[in-house]
């Protein structure tokens, strides 16, 4: 049974099967085998860190916790206490609290409590564990004791495959010319592409239209006009 902090829900599509691996075979295998007591994933936004943390929770087969420390997430340092009793704890955007001594003491305590109980920990951040401007050297040392993996961005073929998989799961027909238009004319990082596909899916449902290039062009003009 999965345990999620403060009502945070796992996304249904966040599974290992739905993850396009690309050059990330080693970190994905490490998460699935679960042999390392603490793993630190790092890489820029859009490479799939959140997807993999939630996939690990979904596959844990035991009480698991997913927590995000990013801006706007409603957690306090005290909320970390007690999660060591799960069998897996995933902490996303952990570097967002770098420099906050209260948060770092809470992370230090969580790390030690998980080590005592044999609870697996997976952290995700935009940088390697020694890089953020941590306030507490004890926490920096604990963080750096994790097995560290850098997540690599997908190449163009990988981004196209991820886009097609998302469309297939949503029941969207995505012709080759539509994919080509999106890849050539829009932001090409994976996160932006998937968010764009979701927005276009909603627009096509509302209009009862297929995602043809002319429809996408008109829909994007409306979306961008609304935002401006």
* Residue pLDDT tens, the chain, 228 long: 344 444 445 455 788 988 999 999 999 999 998 889 999 999 998 899 999 999 999 898 778 999 999 887 778 999 999 999 999 999 999 999 999 999 999 999 999 999 999 999 999 999 999 999 999 999 999 999 999 999 998 888 888 888 888 888 878 878 888 888 888 766 567 777 877 888 888 888 888 888 888 888 888 777 666 554
The 8-class DSSP code of residue 82 comes to T
Global confidence as pTM: 0.78
In 85-223, at which residue ranges do the beta strands (DSSP E only) sit? 88-92, 120-125, 147-150
The 8-class DSSP code of residue 149 comes to E
Q: Are 23 and 152 in contact (CB under 8 A)?
A: yes
Q: What is the arrangement of strands in the sheet containing 3-4, beginning at the earlier edge strand? A: 3-4, 64-68, 88-92, 120-125, 38-42, 147-150
Mapping DSSP to helix (H, G, I), strand (E, B) and coil, where does residue 4 land? Answer: strand
**Torsion angles phi and psi, residue 23, rounded to 5:** -90, 15
């Amino acid at each position: 049974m999965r345990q999620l902090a403060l009502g945070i829900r796992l996304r249904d599509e966040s599974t290992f099967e739905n993850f396009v691996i690309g050059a990330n075979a080693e970190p994905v295998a490490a998460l699935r085998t679960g042999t390392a007591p603490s793993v630190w994933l790092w890489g820029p936004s859009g490479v799939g860190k959140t997807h993999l943390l939630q996939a690990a929770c979904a596959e844990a087969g035991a009480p698991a916790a997913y927590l995000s420390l990013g801006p706007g997430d409603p957690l306090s340092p005290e909320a970390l206490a007690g999660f060591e009793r799960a069998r897996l704890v995933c902490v996303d955007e952990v570097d967002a609290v770098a420099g906050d001594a209260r948060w770092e003491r809470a992370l230090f305590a969580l790390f030690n409590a998980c080590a005592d109980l044999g609870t697996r920990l997976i952290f995700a951040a935009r940088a390697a564990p020694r890089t953020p401007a941590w306030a507490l050297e004890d926490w920096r040392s604990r963080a750096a004791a994790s097995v560290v993996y850098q997540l690599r961005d997908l190449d163009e073929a990988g981004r196209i495959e991820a886009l097609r998989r998302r469309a297939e799961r949503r029941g969207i027909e995505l012709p080759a010319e539509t994919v080509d238009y999106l890849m050539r004319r829009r932001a090409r990082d994976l996160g932006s592409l998937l968010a764009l596909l979701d927005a276009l899916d909603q627009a096509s449902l509302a209009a009862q239209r297929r995602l043809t290039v002319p429809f996408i062009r008109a829909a994007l003009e409306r979306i961008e006009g609304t935002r401006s």
